[in-house]
Amino acid sequence: MMRTTLVETLVLFLCFFLGALVCITSATYGRKQNYGDQVVVRCSNVSRVQYQAISTQPGMDIWYISNNNIDVRVSWENVMWLRQLGIHCTILHDSVEQLVKQFEKDLMVKQEWFEEYHEYDDIIKWYEELANRYTDIVTYYPSIGKSYEGRDMPAVHITGSTAPNIFKIYFQCQIHAREWISGAVCGYIVNYLLENYGNNDDVTKLLDSVEFIFIPFVNPDGYAYTWSNDRLWRKNRRSGSPCDGVDLNRNYDEHWSEGGSSSNPCSETYHGTGPESEPETQNTANYFRSNDVILGAIDWHSYSQLILRPYGWTSEDAPDEAQLKAIGDGMSDRIFAVHGKYYTSQKGIGLYPTSGTARDWFYSDNANVNNGDYRSAGYTLELRDTGQYGFLLPPDQIIPNGEEMVPAVMYFANTLLEDPIKK
């Protein structure tokens, strides 16, 4: 576990009095992107047609959706574009640059591991240390494949069982680069399971009955880029023209390019040149199919406080809609019981159209080809908050967000063990 050295303490002391925002906890954190004239607006009563126009327009960065309201990061110039489209918007944050600077201030003081965010290399070392410490119940795979820029994508398996062909639960994290809380909460859940195995009857019983699989980084290149260049970068780092990056959560081979994504490389929801065109998507899809039998899977995101189930590409109910809804509702109840945070449980299409998402792919025939008689229950879980901080959630929110996810994860796994979805 990382500690603050004497030198780092002196540097932080000087930074505090000099007000130098460049003196951040991480030696390599050096944001180059300036958000100058950008603001976040909240637009009300947005129709599906207007949403489609916003989601595919370059320069429009959707942050949050609730019913018919949408929060969008835009330049002042694009605020006028929204008005010309007949969309009524009010200013939610009048300076994105100041919002990011405040977040950077929150990074300046080093705390315990789960009281701060960490870089890719440090997180990899942390998982390696956990694997070495808990050798009886952890199997660590250094790489399930390389990212576009050649970074490793590790996998962490946790179980107390030695039985062959044990049922599995699959979690993948950090698919969108800027959503730092998603990776942090995944780490919190891993740590909780390991620390409580053998000490907590419920955790011990669960881990003796199921194997958890965690993919800490689906988008390691994008995450590294949020530390070095652009804190609000979303996509992977595919080099392209005229713009870089593919939205990995629109790149899965499940009704790819059938709404809620864009063919414009400059869009935040650019779906790539074809289904699974990206190495990160290929790696996770291949690894998922190689691990049978997976009863349930969650793709972790932020923000909005949502539990989304299939489908995102059609308004038709999934064949197992009743069971999927009951699981999502049960998770919401257990989250609320911890800190009183309400998470909406709904179908993905109820929020906005999406296609090529990990959630729908987990549930698809494509993903479950090697899953025996079972179908994986696929979900997207959008963590805190609902707009106050957005993607810039302060590090003091990591622990409470992790605490409220633990009972939801326990419920998710236990419910699927008792009543798995059959094909």
Q: Which residues are catalytic, by number? A: 382
Cβ atoms of 337 and 405 within 8 Å: the answer is no
Q: Which two tokens stand for residue 323?
A: 């069971």
Nearest one of 220, 64, 68 to 147, comparing CA atoms: 220
Q: Which two tokens stand for residue 191?
A: 């740590």
Nearest one of 100, 158, 167 to 130, comparing CA atoms: 158
Please state the length of the chain: 423
Residue 354 in 3-state DSSP?
Answer: coil
Task: Please give the C-alpha separations between residue 116 and each of 72, 239, 254, 289, in angstroms, as whole numbers.
Answer: 27, 31, 36, 34
User: How far apart, in whole angstroms, are the C-alpha atoms of residue 190 and residue 194?
Assistant: 6
Cβ atoms of 225 and 236 within 8 Å: the answer is no
Nearest one of 9, 36, 6, 31 to 21, comparing CA atoms: 31
Nearest one of 287, 280, 336 to 307, comparing CA atoms: 336
Nearest one of 202, 282, 169 to 236, comparing CA atoms: 282
The rounded Cα 151 to chain-centroid distance in angstroms is 18
Cβ atoms of 62 and 55 within 8 Å: the answer is yes
Nearest one of 273, 230, 4 to 115, comparing CA atoms: 4
What are the backbone angles phi and psi of residue 157, rounded to the nearest 5°?
Answer: -110, 135
Q: Which two tokens stand for residue 371?
A: 């899953």
The rounded Cα 82 to chain-centroid distance in angstroms is 28
Nearest one of 304, 354, 358, 359 to 332, comparing CA atoms: 304
